[in-house]
């Protein structure tokens, strides 16, 4: 994969008034990736996507794209050329397709009319526009609905139309902001299979989501964003091993003075990362559960707590994610 990146995000800082929403964000995106941007609501995902496509201007930093994809190369030059999306807005517009979080199609136009309209914004020749429309109607399973008013589409179909509109000019990079939010699991799965199909046809994809467990199966790499800062970038497998070495011990005791148990376990050097009381359970997080169990049994004896239930498990990815980003 170590070809030069197709996109280089360099130290982006974005403010809205006094609020700094992106804090020196840097990322390299490689051709052919499905790159996931994962963060809690309000962490800056939408702002980052809008800034990296050139729609919002940053206060600091730059986003550079492979300029040589658009210009005729002189012979003998193999070095990649980069240009700023802010200095080449017209090329940036052809480079990216953007599917926003909220529908951007026109409800009073039919599915096909929407595609033709969005295509006309890119000065595509009539023939190319018609053939792209046809290819996308088929690819996105919208052929049967081509004459349906967009306002009458179901949620899943609307989402597919939005993605199709973002693809009408055949961009190198498709940027999708929470493409599966508010969809039921079956429709989500359908969107994911389409995203993979689009990717297999050669389009690089950058997408935002707030479910780590949902994107990890599909992304080549994932960046975790928290309060406008990228706190980690790794393959899903690496993220898992990095954060999933911690396990959770859930106990129930009687009479259940959990605060006292927690205090006794939270001693320095105890290998306890975190302790939570959830309903009738006390949950202890540790990377060394056997050490904690030893201490726990001793503590319960001392505090005269009777052990009613105990379970040790690896937390799911979403639980881990919440812990990383909390
Ligand atoms: N146009 C704007 N003006 C002022 N604040 C904004 C604007 N857009 C986003 N924000 C703020 O920036 C922060 C990040 O928002 P956003 O990028 O939408 O996060 P996410 O997509 O991860 O939920 C939030 O605190 C939000 O209120
Ligand atoms: Mg958002």
Ligand 1 atom closest to the CA of 50, numbered from 1: 17
Q: Is the dihedral of CA 42, 45, 48, 50 positive or negative?
A: negative
Ligand index nearest the alpha carbon of residue 19: 1
Interstrand relation of 229-234 and 281-286 (parallel, antiparallel or unpaired): unpaired
Compute the distance from residue 62 Cα to the ligand 1 centre, in Å: 19
Q: 208 has which bridge partners?
A: 37, 177
Q: Which residues of the chain have pLDDT under 70?
A: 1-2, 72-77, 243-245, 316, 323-326
Structure tokens, 157? 């179909």
Which CATH architecture fits 244-325?
A: 2-Layer Sandwich (3.30)
In sequence order, which residues have a C-beta less than 8 Å from that of residue 266 and are 6 or more positions away? 272, 275
In sequence order, which residues have a C-beta less than 8 Å from that of residue 138 and are 6 or more positions away? none
Minimum CA distance residue for ligand 1 atom 16: 44
Beta-carbon neighbours within 5 Å of ion ligand 2? 45-46
Predicted pLDDT at 2: 65
In sequence order, which residues have a C-beta less than 8 Å from that of residue 264 and are 6 or more positions away? 295, 299, 302, 303
Q: Is residue 75 within 6 Å of ligand 1 at its C-beta?
A: no
| Cβ–Cβ under 8 Å, residues 165 and 110 | no
One fold for 7-241 and 244-325:
no
Say how far apart CA 158 and CA 268 lie, in whole Å: 54
Domain segments of the chain: what residues?
A: 7-241, 244-325
Minimum CA distance residue for ligand 1 atom 2: 16
Compute the distance from residue 21 Cα to the ligand 1 centre, in Å: 7
Q: Which CATH number is correct for 7-241, 3.40.50.300, 3.65.10.10, 3.10.129.10, 3.30.465.10?
A: 3.40.50.300
Q: Is residue 21 within 6 Å of ligand 1 at its C-beta?
A: yes
pTM of the model: 0.81
Predicted pLDDT at 326: 64
């Amino acid at each position: 994969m170590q070809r030069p990146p197709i996109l280089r995000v360099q130290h982006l800082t974005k403010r809205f008034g006094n609020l700094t929403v992106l804090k020196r964000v840097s990322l390299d995106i490689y051709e052919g990736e499905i790159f996931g941007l994962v963060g809690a609501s309000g962490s800056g995902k939408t702002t980052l996507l809008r800034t990296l496509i050139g729609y919002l201007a940053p206060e600091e930093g730059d986003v550079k794209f492979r300029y040589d994809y658009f210009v005729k190369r002189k012979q003998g030059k193999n070095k990649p050329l980069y240009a700023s999306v802010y200095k080449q807005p017209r090329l940036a517009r052809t480079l990216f397709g953007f599917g926003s979080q909220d529908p951007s199609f026109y409800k009073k136009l039919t599915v096909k009319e929407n595609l033709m309209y969005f295509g006309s914004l890119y000065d595509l020749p009539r023939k190319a526009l018609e053939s792209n429309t046809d290819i996308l109607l088929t690819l996105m399973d919208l052929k049967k609905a081509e004459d349906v008013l967009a306002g009458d589409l179901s949620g899943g179909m609307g989402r597919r139309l939005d993605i199709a509109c973002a693809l009408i000019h055949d961009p190198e990079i498709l940027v999708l902001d929470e493409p599966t939010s508010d969809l039921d699991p079956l429709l989500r799965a359908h969107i994911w299979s389409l995203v993979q199909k689009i990717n297999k046809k050669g389009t690089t994809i950058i997408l935002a989501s707030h479910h780590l467990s949902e994107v990890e199966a599909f992304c080549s790499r994932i960046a975790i964003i928290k309060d406008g800062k990228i706190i980690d970038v790794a393959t899903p497998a690496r993220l898992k091993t990095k954060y999933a070495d911690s396990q959770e011990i859930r106990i129930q005791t009687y009479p259940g003075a959990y605060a006292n148990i927690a205090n006794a376990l939270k001693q320095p050097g105890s290998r306890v990362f975190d302790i939570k009381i959830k309903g009738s359970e006390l949950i202890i997080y540790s990377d060394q559960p056997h050490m904690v169990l030893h201490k726990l049994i001793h503590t319960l004896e001392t505090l005269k707590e009777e052990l009613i239930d105990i379970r040790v498990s690896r937390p799911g990815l979403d639980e881990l994610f919440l812990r990383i980003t909390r």
